[in-house]
Structure 1
Amino acid sequence: MPRPDDPAGGPPGAGDPAETRPGTGDPVEGPPGTGDPAGGRPGAGDPVEELLRSLASRVLGTLVRRHGDFARCEDATQEALITAAGAWPRDGVPAHPLGWLVTVAANRYIDQVRSDGARERRERAALDATPRDALVAPPPDVEQARDDLLELLFLCCHPALTAPSQMALTLRAVAGLTTAEVAASFLVPEKTMGQRVSRAKQRLREAGARFEAPADPEHGPRLRVVLHVLYLMFNEGYSASAGSHLRRPDLTRQALRLVRRLHARLPGSGETAGLLALMLLTEARGAARTGPGGVLVPLAEQDRSLWDAAAIAEGTELVARTLATGPIGPYQVQAAIAAVHDEAPSAEDTDWRQILALYEILERLEPNPVTTLNRAVALAMVRGPRAGLALLDELGSGVLAGHHRLLAVRAHLLERDGRAAEAAEAYREAARLAGSRPEQRFLLGRAVRCAG
C-alpha cells in the first residue's frame, strides 16, 4: 500500500472517501474523487494516440528482451512512437502496428549503437546491435504472440535499484505514465522524478541487469515491489491524479491483465490474489461512477444494478479463499473492505462496523496516513462526524497536511455535522489544491451547495 510518509512516495489520498482509489479499500461515503466512463488522460479520444500508448510498453519489452540495453531501448522506442505519431495520421495505421513500431525502434536502436564512434567499441556495438533471439524471432512485420511485460516489470524491479527507483522506472516503462504523472503519484517535483528515472536506467546498465524472470531467492522482495507498482498503476488509472479526464481505463486494464498473469504464475501468493480481488471489486463499480455528461456519482448514490456482478463474484471468491489460507496481508484486507461495499444491496445496508474493524486491522498491518484518513470517515459513519473530525486532527500536521483529499474529507464531515459555512470553505480550498479538473468542479459544486 502506498506510504505517503515513505521516501518512496505514493498517492497520499489514494482515493477519495466515497470513490477512493483501491489502496484505501474504497471505504466510505463522502466527497468523491474521480471517475469517468470515457476514461483516458488529456488528449484521449485520438485513436492513433491511444493506440500508440497501448503499444509503447510492448515495443519496449520486445527491444529489451532482444538487446538488453534498457536505456538505449527506451530512447529508440520513444523515437519510433514520435515517428508513428507523425506518419500514421497522414498515411494511415499500418496493418501490423506493433510490428511496424518494433521494426522502426529496432532500426533506431541499431543507429544509436553504430553512431558510437570509438574504434575500440565497434566490435561490441555490432554485437549489441544483433538481437539475442534473432534466430527464432518472428519477422518484424507481423504481430508477435509473446508478451514481455512481466519480464520487463521484474527487470524494472531489479534489486540493484532502490525501491523508489524501482517503482518510478516501472511506472514510466511499463505503465507508460509521463514523468509528471509519476512525480504526482510520488508527491515529488517533476525534475526530481526525471533525475530518479535517469539514475535508475544508468544503474541497470552498470549492474548488467538481464531481461529474465528472477531466481526464486529474490522473488519475494521483488514480488512485493511488483505488486506495489501494479497497485499504483491501477490507482492512477482508476482516479487520474491530474488533467481533464477522471479515469484511464488503459492503465486499469493493463494492471488487471498483469496481476492476472502473476496470479496464474504464483497461485499460492495470498497477496497477489488479494491485489487481483481488490482490483476486480473496485473496477466492478466503474460503470456507475459517473452520470450523464460525466458527472461524478458518489458511492452512496450509485445505481448498483450497473455494477459488474461477475467481477464482484470473482473478487469475493478470491477474498474468501485467500483469507482462509493466511497469512493475511494489506491487499487482502483492502479487498475485504471492498467486498463489504460490493455485497451490500444498498448504501444504507453497508456494514460500517465491519469496515471500521477492517481498517483497524489494516492500520496494524501497515500504518499509513491514507488508511487513517479513510478510517476517519468509517469512524464517522459508526460514531458520528465529530469522532471522525477528531481523528482527522491527528493528520493535520503530517504528510497529508494541506492535501486536497484531507480537506475534502474534512469538508464532508463538517457538512454532515451541520457546519455548512466551514464545510463550504474547506470544499473551496480542496478544489483549489486538486489536480484533476473534474474533481475541482465537483468540489466547487459541493461548496456552492453548502454556501447556498
Structure 2
Amino acid sequence: MRAALAAAYRGEWGVVFGTIVRLTGDWELAEDCAQEAFARALPAWEREGVPQKPGAWLVTAARHRAFDVLRRGTTERGKLAEVAALRAAREPQPPGDERLRLVFTCCHPALPLESRVALTLRAVSGLTTREIARAFLVGEDTVSQRILRAKRKIAAAGIPYRVPPPGARAERLHGVLAVIYLMFTEGYAPSDGSTQRDSLAEEAVRLARLVAAEAPDEPEARGLLALLLLQHSRRAARLDADGGLVTLDRQDRTRWDHALVAEGVALAREAVVAGGPYALQAAIAAQHALAPTAAATDWAAIVTWYDRLLALRANPVVELNRAVAVGMHEGPQAQLDAVDALGTSKKLAGNHAVPAVRADALRRLGRAREAAGVYRTAESIAPNAAIAREYAKQAAVLEQMDEGNVPL
C-alpha cells in the first residue's frame, strides 16, 4: 500500500497541486490541500483498496479540502463566488495540461533562477524543502525563503497560471529547458565538488520526460531529454572506487546503462533534424555512446556537429570542446593550435578546462615537463576537489618521467 501511495506521489503530486492552484489561485492553499489529500489516502486505501484512478481520487480529495477551507473562512461576496466555482468543478483537467501550466509558471522569467529551480522541485516534483536543501547543499530556511519569495512574486506580479500562447511558447520553453538542464548538471557534476547526486539528476530526467511527453511538437524538448539520458547512462562508470573522476576515454563501457543509451540515441536522431542546440549536443553525446571503444569514436562526425552548434551561436566553451575533437581527429598539434587561439577569450578567463586541454595536447606531443606545469595550473584553479585531484594525478605522472620528448 505504501508503495502504491509513493508511486502516486511521484506521479500525481504536480497534478493535484496544479489543480488547486488553477481553481483557487492560492499556492499556499494548494500545498496544504495536496498534502492533506495524500495524508488521507493511506488509511482510505488500506480500508478500501487502491482506487482504479489514484490521481483522480487525490484531486477530488484535495478539491474537497480546498472547498471546506474556503467555505469556513469566507464572508466576502467575491470569495463566495469562488467557492461556488470550486464546488462546480467536478472533473479535473487532463493531467498533461495541469503539469504544463505548473512547469511554465514555476519557470517564469520574472522569477530569480534559484527560485525557479526550488519552486519547480517543490510544486511539480513534490520534493520537500529538506530534500531540495540536501540536493543543493544549502539550508532548509534558504530553500523555504526562495519558494516563499517565488510564490509572493507570482501573486504580486499577477503571473498567469497558464501555458504561454503560441507566439511566446518557444521562448518560454527555452527557459523551462534551461532550468531542467541546470538541475541535471548540479546533480551530475555538482559545482561544489561533492560526489554526483543521482537523485537530483534523476529528477531532472523525469521532468525532461514530462515536458517532452506533454510538448510532443517541440523537438528541443526531445533534444534535451536525449542529452540527459545519454549523459546519465554513464553515471555508474564516472567515478572510481575512491570517488575520483574517470574520464570518458577510460570508462568501463560495460557499466553504462545501455537501455538509456538506446533510448537517448533514438531521441537524438529524431530531434537533430530540427537542429536546435540541445539536439546538436545530444548528437555529439550519441557519437560517444555509439562507439564500442574510445578509439573507435567518430571524431570527424563530432567536429561536424560542433561546427553546426557554433553556426547557431558563437560560444567559447563549445569552441574549446571542438578543439579537443579536432585534436582527436587531426592530432595534438591541431588541438594545441586551436586552444591557443582561444587564449584571449574573456569568457574563458580562469576556466580550468583551458589549461587542461592545452596540457593534454602537450602531453600527447611528448612535451612532458611543459604538460606537467600546465596541469598544475589547471589544478590550482579547478572548481572542486575531485577535478583538482585528477589534474594533480596527471601532473605527477608526467613529473616522474624523463624529459625525452617521446609522445605519450
Please show how residues 76-115 of structure 1 align to structure 2 within 5 Å: none
Structure 2 alignment gaps of length 5 or more: 1-9, 36-45, 47-57, 123-131, 401-408
Show the 5 A alignment for 1:268-279: 268-279=217-228
Contact 2:100–2:214 (8 Å) recurs in 1 = no
TM-score (norm: length of structure 2): 0.69
SS at structure 2 position matched to 1:230: helix
**1:397-408 matched pairs, under 5 angstroms:** 397-408=345-356
Unaligned stretches of 5+ residues in structure 1: 1-53, 81-94, 115-121, 138-145, 184-190
Q: Distance in 2 between matches of 1:440 and 1:302?
A: 19
C-alpha distance in 2, partners of 1:73/1:437?
Answer: 43
Which residue type is aligned with residue 170 of structure 1? R
Taking a change above 3 Å as real, the CA distance of residues 330 and 445 of structure 1, as seen in their structure-2 partners, is same
Cα displacement (A) at 1:283: 1.2
Q: Is the partner of 1:292 in helix, strand or coil?
A: coil
Once the two structures are TM-superposed, the CA of residue 351 in structure 1 deviates from its matched residue by: 0.7
Structure 1 residues 180 and 279, CA gap change in structure 2 (3 angstroms): closer
Q: How far off is 1:179 after superposition?
A: 12
Give 2:286's aligned residue.
339
CA offset digits 1:71-109 (Å, max 9, x no partner): x689x99xx9xxxxxxxxxxxxxx9xxx9xxx9xx99xx
Partner of 2:386: 438
| TM-aligned CA deviation for residue 398 of structure 1 | 1.5
Q: Distance in 2 between matches of 1:67 and 1:359?
A: 48
Corresponding position of 2:53 = none
2-side partners of 1:390 and 1:420: how far apart?
Answer: 17
- TM-fit CA distance, 1:409: 2.2
Counterpart CA distance in 2 for 1:212 and 1:238 is 31
Corresponding residue for residue 395 of structure 2: 447
Is the deviation greater in 393-402 or in 346-355?
A: 393-402
CA 1:68–1:390 in 2, change beyond 3 Å: closer, same or farther?
A: farther
2-structure distance, mates of 1:257, 1:135? 33
1:223 equivalent among 173, 191, 197: 173
Distance 1:153 1:334 in 2: 23
Amino acid at match of 1:173: L
Q: 1:402 & 1:251 partners in 2: Cα distance?
A: 28
Higher Cα radius of gyration: 2
Match for 1:420 among 368, 372, 390? 368
Counterparts in 2 of 1:213 and 1:344: CA distance versus 1, 3 Å: same
Amino acid at match of 1:230: I
Structure possessing the higher relative contact order (Cα contacts under 8 Å, 6 or more residues apart): 1
Equivalent-residue separation in structure 2 for 1:290 and 1:64 (angstroms): 42
Task: Give the counterpart letter for 2:119 in structure 1.
Answer: A
Residue 118 of structure 2 aligns to which amino acid in structure 1?
R
- Percent same amino acid among aligned pairs? 39
How many pairs were matched up?
A: 347
User: Going by fraction, where is helix more abundant, 1 or 2?
Assistant: 2
Who is 1:46 aligned against? none
Instruction: For 2:306, give the aligned amino acid.
Output: Y
Letter in 1 for 2:345: S
Aligned to 2:243: 294
Residue aligned with 1:315, SS: helix
Encode CA deviations 1:34-90: one digit per residue, 9 max, x unaligned. Answer: xxxxxxxxxxxxxxxxxxxx99x96986885676456x689x99xx9xxxxxxxxxx
**TM-score normalized with structure 1 length:** 0.63
Measured on the aligned residues, the alpha-carbon RMSD in Å equals 4.4
Partner of 1:41: none
Match of 1:277, as an amino acid? A
Aligned mate of 1:313, from 246, 249, 262 = 262
Q: Please say if residues 157 and 166 of structure 1, whose CA atoms lie closer than 8 Å, have aligned partners that are also in contact.
A: no
Judged with a 3 Å threshold, the aligned counterparts in structure 2 of structure 1 residues 303 and 243 are, in CA distance, closer, same or farther, namely: closer
